[in-house]
Amino acid sequence: MSFRGKDVLCIMDFTRNDLERLFRIASSKFEGDELRGRVIAMAFFEPSTRTRLSFETATLRLGGGYIGFDAVQATSVAKGESFSDTIRMLDAYADAIVVRHSLEGAAKLAAELADSPVINAGDGSKRHPTQAMIDLYTIWKEMRGIDNLTYGVLGDLRYGRAAGSFLRALNIYSPKKVYLIAPESLRPRKELLDSLKMSWEFADLSEVLPELDVLYVTRIQKERFPDPAEYERVKGSYRIDASLLRDAKSSMIILHPLPRVDEIALDVDNTPHA
């Protein structure tokens, strides 16, 4: 695939060869002037720290500049301006648009409206392709490959878009096994489960931890719960600490898309798994 001018909307739009080409580029080059004279619009309709700052940093390191917002209350959206008009305005100013939005399909709609390429920085509760890319890259780099590993995916697998994108991304590879570890109310939707091509099963962390090569942990997505009482019931369902990891392989790595709340204790940061 030629990436020039292409939208980045869903991780499943990429092949294994596409991803590993990106991994090789990321491993060899972090600065340059490929974006010199270019302007990237950051349209963050939802709060973000790492995703927004990573796009801004990458733009600057590649010689470009950026415009945009990360608080819609400070834009004309707060006055009633439509999403479509906002995207068309940014399209007139910028050479590419990075979109984060609470509504599923927002990035796809932006791509239909704009002539400039659109990058999905997370929309709704299902898609976060760039997070999936960095997750796969980390595994590829740390574990010297992605195939034939045993994965545990723990936490909010229903409302967490990073977890959903990660599971979809594993479809591109050949994991040995994937264990889904979540309270029953936070298990993945049937649509996602039906799409999984690898061997998977629901599991308890204590039972499968010694098998895992990669443990992917996500927070409980408080802001996406339709019922606050259900959030109160399941919050704190899991907590990873250093003592628990005594049963893990010494080579196991832990990934978390952040922000972390209380699902991973701070003492884990000082272990070789972090």
CATH of residue 223: 3.40.50.1370
Instruction: Give which of 48, 85, 84 is closest to 56, Cα–Cα.
Output: 48
Residue 78: pLDDT band with limits 50, 70, 90: confident
- The number of domains in the chain is 2
**pLDDT tens column, 147-164:** 999 999 999 898 889 999
pLDDT value, residue 226 = 67
Q: In this structure, is residue 211 part of a structural domain?
A: yes
- Of 47-56, 121-130, 134-143, 234-243, the least confident: 234-243
Q: In this structure, is residue 18 part of a structural domain?
A: no
The pLDDT of residue 233 is above 80: no
Between these two residues, 142 and 184, which has the higher pLDDT value? 142
Please state the φ and ψ torsions of residue 98, each to the nearest 5 degrees: -105, 125
Domain that holds residue 98: 31-123
Residue 262: pLDDT band with limits 50, 70, 90: confident
Question: Final residue of a domain: which of 75, 104, 123?
Answer: 123
Question: Who's near 18: CB < 8 A, 6+ residues apart?
Answer: 1, 3
The verdict on 73 and 161 lying in the same domain is: no
> Is the pTM above the cut of 0.85?
yes
**pLDDT tens column, 4-28:** 889 999 999 999 999 999 999 888 8
**pLDDT tens column, 47-70:** 899 999 999 999 999 999 999 998
- Are the beta carbons of 259 and 155 closer than 8 angstroms? no
Between these two residues, 91 and 263, which has the higher pLDDT value? 91
pLDDT value, residue 98 = 98
Please measure the distance between the N-terminal and C-terminal CA atoms of the chain and give it in whole angstroms.
Answer: 33
Rounded percentage of the chain residues whose pLDDT exceeds 70 = 93
The pLDDT of residue 237 is above 80: no
The verdict on 266 and 133 lying in the same domain is: yes
Question: Final residue of a domain: which of 88, 105, 123?
Answer: 123
The verdict on 142 and 264 lying in the same domain is: yes
C-alpha span between 41 and 98 (Å, rounded): 6
211-216-221-227 Cα dihedral, nearest 10 degrees: -20
The verdict on 118 and 139 lying in the same domain is: no
Residue 232: pLDDT band with limits 50, 70, 90: low
Mean pLDDT of the chain: 91
* SS3 assignment for 27-85: HHCCCCCCCCCCEEEEEECCCCCHHHHHHHHHHHHCCCEEEEECCHHHCHHHHCCCHHH
**pLDDT tens column, 83-133:** 999 999 999 999 999 999 989 999 999 999 999 999 999 998 889 999 999
C-alpha span between 210 and 232 (Å, rounded): 30
